[in-house]
Amino acid sequence: MTCLCAFPGSAAGERVSISTVNYPPYIYPDYVPFVGYGLGRDIVTEAFALVNHPAEFQILPMSRNVWSLREGRVDANLGVSRWFHADGMSTRVDSVDILNMNFVLFYKHQRFPDGFSFRQLPALSPYTIGNVRGSATTRIVERAGLNVSYASRIVQNLRKLEAGRIDFAIAVDLAGWQIIHELFPDKMNEFATIKKPVLTEPLAVIFRKEDRMLKDQFTHGFQQLIASQRYIQILQKYYQHVRIDRQDIPQSVYVHLDKSSPEMKHILAEDTSLTLNE
């Protein structure tokens, strides 16, 4: 563990407040027995702990995440940089990507027994796509002219997919597989995903630019987490029902991982598609 004397102006043990949203399995509001507080939340907590900063999370509605950082109510945000760009704050914040959230198309083997692939989204126009209204992919599918069946929650689309009412459902890969496991634990092998994402959205820790010292401290702790392979170990805890895919890890993280470690074998395997664990 690194002493904070390496970071002048910082008090060891100073608590860091972080705003975020409720977004399982990346962020849970409460501790989940035998799992944790969520993949993203656990990574951030442990990275800050390595530089002697306890992390305290505030679970807020989506609309108040940008506000909380802009108004100085919190020290950082665990979220998506796009939120701040849309609010005109792109020049006032810096971010550190910790994970990639890949919005992919789920489908059933029964519907497409030979699998499915596409190059451009308009190729999906003959099919019905389930999507969450107002999600990050809403504009993307509408611009592509797709036939979209909207719902208010991901779980509703996955239920429609299971019932054969839609051809595909868009969901973040890890979140989608978790919901399928919860809803249809005996049918997981009936589902599959198209590897090519509709959208890749990095999950990041976002700081005000004037808080450069805090960002540097987090980055230092995060680099320690990566170097110790603890980063991959945390991922493995949450990827219980699906393999970790190379595209789930930001390039800025991947370049620092020890490719010779046992934890990396399944990521570096020739077939890195999102498939169920054997």
188-222 per-position pLDDT tens digit: 999 999 999 999 999 999 999 999 999 999 999 99
Planar angle of CA 229, 250, 140, nearest 5 degrees: 150
Instruction: Please say if the pLDDT value at position 151 is more than 80.
Output: yes
Map out the domains of the chain as residue ranges: 16-100+201-267, 102-199
| DSSP-assigned letter for residue 210 | G
Helix or strand (DSSP H, E) at 140: helix 138-143
Tell me whether domains 16-100+201-267 and 102-199 share a fold.
yes
| Residue closest to 223 by CA, chosen among 258, 271, 178, 268 | 258
Q: Would you state the pLDDT for residue 13?
A: 78
In the structure, what pLDDT confidence band is assigned to residue 1 with cuts at 50, 70 and 90?
A: very low
DSSP class of residue 251 equals: H
Q: How confident is the model at residue 262 (pLDDT cuts 50, 70, 90)?
A: confident
Q: Report pLDDT for 202.
A: 98
> What's the rounded Cα separation, in Å, for the pair 82 and 102?
15
Residues near 85 by Cβ (< 8 Å), separated by ≥ 6? none
Quote the mean pLDDT of the chain.
91
| 140 has pLDDT over 70 | yes
Residues 52-97 have pLDDT tens digits of 999 999 999 988 999 999 999 999 999 999 999 888 888 999 999 9
Contact 161, 130 (CB under 8 A): yes
Q: Is the pLDDT of residue 233 over 50?
A: yes
Q: Which residues contact 235 (CB under 8 A, 6 or more apart)?
A: 39, 244, 248, 249
Span 16-100+201-267: which CATH code?
3.40.190.10
Rounded-to-integer distance, Cα 26 and Cα 101, Å:
9
Segment 163-184 shows an average pLDDT of 98
Q: Which of 238, 241, 276, 245 is nearest to 25 (CA)?
A: 238
- The band of 277, judged by pLDDT with boundaries at 50, 70 and 90, is very low
Strand partners, 149: 130
pLDDT confidence of residue 132: 97
Distance (Å, whole) CA 144 – CA 236: 35
Nearest to 158 by CA among 173, 141, 143, 138: 173
Mean pLDDT across the stretch 255-263? 86
- Average pLDDT, stretch 222-238? 96
Given a cut of 60, whether residue 164 has pLDDT beyond it is: yes
* Per-residue confidence band for 260, with pLDDT thresholds at 50, 70 and 90: confident
Confirm if 132 and 153 have CB atoms less than 8 A apart: yes
Give 12's pLDDT tier (boundaries 50, 70, 90): low
Task: Examine the pLDDT at 32 and tell me if it is beyond 80.
Answer: yes
Looking at residue 86, its pLDDT comes to: 81
Per-residue pLDDT at 231 exceeds 70: yes
CA distance 158 to 215: 38
**What would the mean pLDDT of 235-253 be, rounded to a whole number?**
94
Task: Inform me whether the pLDDT recorded for 273 exceeds 90.
Answer: no
Domain 102-199: give its CATH superfamily. Answer: Periplasmic binding protein-like II (3.40.190.10)
Q: What is the dihedral of CA 98, 132, 109, 127, to 10 degrees?
A: -130
pLDDT at position 269 is 61
